[in-house]
Amino acid sequence: MQSVTQRLANPTRFMELSGRLLPWVAGTAALIIAYGLYLSFFVAPPDYQQGETVRIMFIHVPCAWLAMWGYGLIAISAFGLLVFRHPLADVSAKAAAPIGAAFTFLALVTGSLWGRPTWGTYWVWDARLTSVLILFFLYLGLIALRSSIEDETVASKLTAVLALVGIVMLPIIKFSVEWGNTLHQPSSVLKIGGPTIDPSILTPLLVMALGFTVLFGALHLKAMRNEILRRRVKALQLAEVERVQAGHLAAAE
pLDDT score at 1: 42
Residue in 172, 167, 206 with CA at minimum distance from that of residue 188: 206
State residue 92's pLDDT score.
96
The pLDDT of residue 173 is 87
| C-alpha torsion angle, residues 39, 43, 48, 49 (rounded to 10) | 30
Range from 6-15, 137-146, 191-200 that averages highest in pLDDT: 137-146
Q: Under 8 Å CB-to-CB from 222, ≥6 apart: which residues?
A: 22, 26
Query: What span, in angstroms and rounded, lies between the C-alpha atoms of 143 and 145?
Result: 6
- Evaluated on CA atoms 124, 127, 129, 135, the torsion sign reads positive
Across 5-14, 36-45, 140-149, least confident range:
5-14
Q: What is the pLDDT of residue 121?
A: 85
Q: Please tell me the predicted confidence (pLDDT) of residue 7.
A: 61
Quote the longest CA-to-CA distance of the chain.
85
Which amino acid type is present at position 139? Y
Bridge partners, 47 (sequence order)? 51
The SS3 assignment for 9 reads coil
Closest CA to 91 of 140, 18, 23: 18
**β-strand partners of 51:** 47
For 57-70, how does the pLDDT look when each residue is reduced to its tens digit (9 = 90+)? 999 999 999 999 99
- For residue 148, the one-letter residue type is S
Q: Is the pLDDT of residue 176 over 80?
A: no
Give whole-number Cα distances, 175 to 184, 186, 187, 209, in Å.
Answer: 11, 9, 9, 20
- Integer Cα distance of 150 and 77 in angstroms: 20
The predicted-structure confidence for 115-168, as pLDDT tens digits, reads as follows: 888 888 888 888 888 899 999 999 999 999 999 998 889 999 999 999 999 999
Of the CA atoms within 13 Å of residue 73, those in its CB half-sphere come to 24
Q: Look up residue 51 and give its DSSP letter.
A: B
Q: How far apart are CA 127 and CA 17, in angstroms?
A: 42
pTM: 0.91
CA-to-CA dists, residue 31 to 37, 60, 102, 208, 218, angstroms: 10, 19, 21, 11, 13
| pLDDT attached to residue 185 | 66
Mean pLDDT throughout 217-223?
Answer: 97
Length of the chain as a residue count: 253
In this prediction, residue 169 carries a pLDDT of 92
pLDDT in the model for residue 240: 83
Across 181-198, average pLDDT: 62
The pLDDT score that the predictor gives to residue 90 is 95
Coil/strand/helix, residue 119: helix
SS3 per residue for 63-95: HHHHHHHHHHHHHHHHHHHHHHCCCCHHHHHHH
Compute the distance between CA of residue 85 and CA of residue 83 in angstroms, rounded to an integer: 6
Question: Using one digit for the tens of pLDDT, what is the confidence trace for 90-111?
Answer: 999 999 999 999 999 999 999 9
Asked whether the predicted pLDDT for residue 223 surpasses 80, the reply is yes
User: In the structure, what pLDDT confidence band is assigned to residue 183 with cuts at 50, 70 and 90?
Assistant: low
pLDDT at 196 over 70: no
Q: pLDDT tens digit string along 199-217? A: 888 899 999 999 999 999 9
Q: What is the mean pLDDT of the chain?
A: 88
